[in-house]
């Protein structure tokens, strides 16, 4: 009997202890959740306490939940915030990019102030990679901090001026001829063919950047499986380690050193170093001149002092590798969007092809010169309108590097407000470019917006396809010429039309950093030589 009573007592005690333990655990969880909730409420009340208009944030993810869950790309996410009801009528609006307090600029005059007039107080970007371990990623013009950027920009700016770009035209024209041969080969005697346009354009731009930046023939058009083309695909491969590094660089830049982030994969770095070492040695030995980036590198090695930054490890390969990464994707996307809009607007396409035909006739069948291509007015209008509707870099960012902060009281409806040091500021280029206040019927593709007469009516700082201010894109002239050459060599032989696979409405790839069509852009290419 005693044993039975003891067993009952022991079981009851164990039950009570278990019940008490569950109560303690549950209470602990509730306490932690309460603390987290209070911290989140305090953290995301940052802009309210400063008296700044703000977009309400979601706990833990801030205002970028759609981006994080893969529902949209960077450009769409910042455009959504730009067009939010909380942002309407304000020069700027407070947002949260994950846990980061950030400001989204909306007023063109304020954008000019920060990007141009007060550039010294916003001279660096918010993103950061590890400056010690990632020598290839941290030294290029995009990611480098102000001191490194200033020296690098001073060295390279003259080499991307109009005169130097004109000298590179022969290399562009050569790749343009190979594009024609590639398309003729794919046609194989047929009258028309259906193609995925981004893939075609990416082969073309990869060959161009390989020629300009590395001085080699990549042969992507002849062989899409060529090593150089595969490296361009590899660098954008969303592997877990690479995604972690990019996530840290863009959202937690202060942890870049601890995580030892790298902009590129080990395979890409190894390939780029091997290619650059070989090309520099081969060109020095041969003395060949090609008017490309390798010529510039060799000239710098001969003329710059021993203390120059050009002698730092990986300096040259850092510039060439990023030019490849940035150049082939942005230009190929722009050509793709241009052909898509021309297929949707046959009258505009006919007008453009007529201008190209007249230029070809005036040159007696000879290849068009750089000056003639640059002087094709309607081609320029078409490219400018494509860049308005589909800016490759759909958002811009800067970081307030003034230790005292930056006074924005006059832009905050008279309420005192100083932007704290270290705060990132963002600009939605896609939002500006599709704002009906500055561009009537903004969703319509209308190259006449950029006629000589209409350009005079444009509101300043509402057209930023290549950024603005000192840190605007250094390769603007080269990029525009590359796009024009690609379009010219396609449209001189083909008329583009919609097909069954063509998207009725363009949607952007949520995984791409620059604007790119989601699931490909298919068009019908009809043989129609001019």
Residues 204, 207: Cα–Cα separation, whole Å: 5
CATH superfamily of 65-448+483-527: Cytochrome P450 (1.10.630.10)
The verdict on pTM exceeding 0.85 is yes
Provide the pairing of β-strand 522-527 with 494-497: antiparallel
**Is residue 209 within 8 Å of residue 175, measured between CB atoms?**
no
User: Which residues, in sequence order, are CB contacts of 411 under 8 Å at separation 6+?
Assistant: 91, 92, 107, 110
Residues 479, 491: Cα–Cα separation, whole Å: 18
What is the length of the chain? 530
Distances (CA, A) of 477 to 175, 243, 317: 18, 32, 22
**Is residue 92 within 8 Å of residue 103, measured between CB atoms?**
yes
Helix, strand, coil in percent for the chain, rounding step 5: 55, 10, 35
Tens digit of pLDDT per residue, the chain (530 long)? 545 544 555 555 555 555 655 666 665 665 555 555 445 555 778 999 999 999 999 988 999 999 999 899 999 999 999 999 999 999 999 999 998 999 999 999 999 999 999 999 999 999 999 989 999 999 988 889 888 999 999 888 887 889 889 998 999 999 999 999 999 999 888 899 999 999 999 999 999 988 888 888 888 888 888 877 887 777 767 678 888 888 899 888 989 999 999 998 888 899 889 988 999 999 988 988 888 888 888 988 888 888 899 999 999 999 888 887 777 788 999 999 999 999 999 999 999 999 999 999 988 767 889 999 999 999 999 999 999 999 999 999 999 999 999 999 999 887 899 999 999 999 999 999 999 999 999 999 999 999 999 999 999 999 999 999 999 998 899 999 999 999 999 999 999 999 999 988 999 999 888 888 888 899 999 999 98
Distances (CA, A) of 302 to 246, 285, 310, 472: 36, 14, 11, 28
Residue 253 is given by DSSP the state: G
């Amino acid at each position: 009997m005693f044993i039975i009573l003891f067993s009952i007592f022991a079981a009851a005690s164990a039950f009570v202890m278990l019940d008490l333990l569950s109560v303690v655990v549950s209470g602990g969880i509730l306490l932690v959740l309460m603390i987290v909730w209070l911290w989140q409420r305090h953290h995301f009340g940052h802009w309210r306490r400063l008296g700044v208009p703000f977009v309400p944030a979601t706990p833990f993810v801030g205002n970028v939940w759609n981006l994080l869950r893969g529902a949209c790309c960077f450009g769409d996410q910042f455009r959504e915030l730009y067009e939010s009801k909380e942002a309407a009528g304000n020069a700027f609006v407070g947002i949260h990019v994950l846990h980061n307090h950030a400001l989204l600029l909306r007023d063109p005059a304020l954008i000019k102030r920060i990007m141009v007039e007060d550039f010294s107080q916003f001279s660096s970007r918010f993103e950061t990679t590890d400056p010690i371990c990632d020598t290839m990623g941290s030294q290029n013009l995009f990611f480098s901090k102000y001191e490194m950027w200033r020296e690098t920009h001073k060295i390279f700016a003259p080499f991307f001026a109009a005169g130097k770009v004109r000298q590179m035209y022969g290399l562009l024209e050569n790749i343009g001829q190979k594009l024609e041969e590639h398309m003729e080969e794919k046609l194989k005697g047929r009258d028309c063919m259906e193609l995925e346009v981004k893939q075609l354009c990416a082969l073309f731009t990869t060959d161009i950047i390989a020629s300009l930046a590395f001085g080699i023939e990549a042969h992507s058009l002849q062989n899409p499986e060529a090593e150089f083309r595969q490296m361009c695909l590899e660098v954008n491969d969303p592997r877990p380690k690479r995604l972690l590094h990019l996530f840290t660089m863009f959202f937690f830049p202060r942890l870049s050193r601890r995580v030892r982030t790298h902009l590129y994969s080990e395979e890409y770095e190894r390939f780029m170093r091997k290619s650059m070492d070989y090309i520099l040695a081969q060109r020095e030995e041969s003395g060949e001149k090609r008017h490309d980036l390798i010529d510039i590198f060799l000239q710098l090695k001969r003329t710059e002092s021993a203390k120059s930054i050009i002698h730092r490890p990986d300096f040259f390969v850092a510039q060439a590798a990023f030019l490849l990464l940035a150049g082939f994707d942005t230009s190929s996307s722009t050509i793709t969007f241009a052909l898509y809009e021309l297929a949707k607007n046959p009258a505009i396409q006919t007008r453009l092809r007529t201008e190209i035909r007249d230029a070809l006739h005036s040159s007696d069948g000879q290849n068009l010169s750089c000056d003639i291509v640059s002087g094709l007015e309607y081609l320029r209008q078409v490219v400018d309108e494509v860049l308005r509707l589909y800016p490759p870099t759909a958002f811009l960012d800067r970081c307030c590097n003034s230790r005292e902060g930056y006074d924005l009281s006059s832009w905050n409806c008279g309420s005192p407000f100083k932007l704290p040091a270290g705060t990132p500021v963002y600009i939605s280029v896609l939002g500006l470019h599709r704002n009906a206040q500055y561009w009537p019927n903004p969703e319509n593709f209308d190259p006449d917006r950029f006629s000589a007469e209409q350009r005079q009516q444009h509101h300043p700082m509402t057209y930023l396809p290549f950024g603005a201010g000192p840190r605007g894109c250094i390769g603007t002239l080269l990029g525009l010429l590359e796009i024009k050459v690609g379009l010219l060599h396609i449209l001189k032989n083909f008329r583009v039309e919609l097909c069954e696979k063509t998207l009725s409405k363009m949607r952007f790839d949520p995984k791409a950093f620059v604007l790119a069509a989601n699931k490909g852009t298919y068009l019908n290419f009809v043989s129609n030589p001019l």
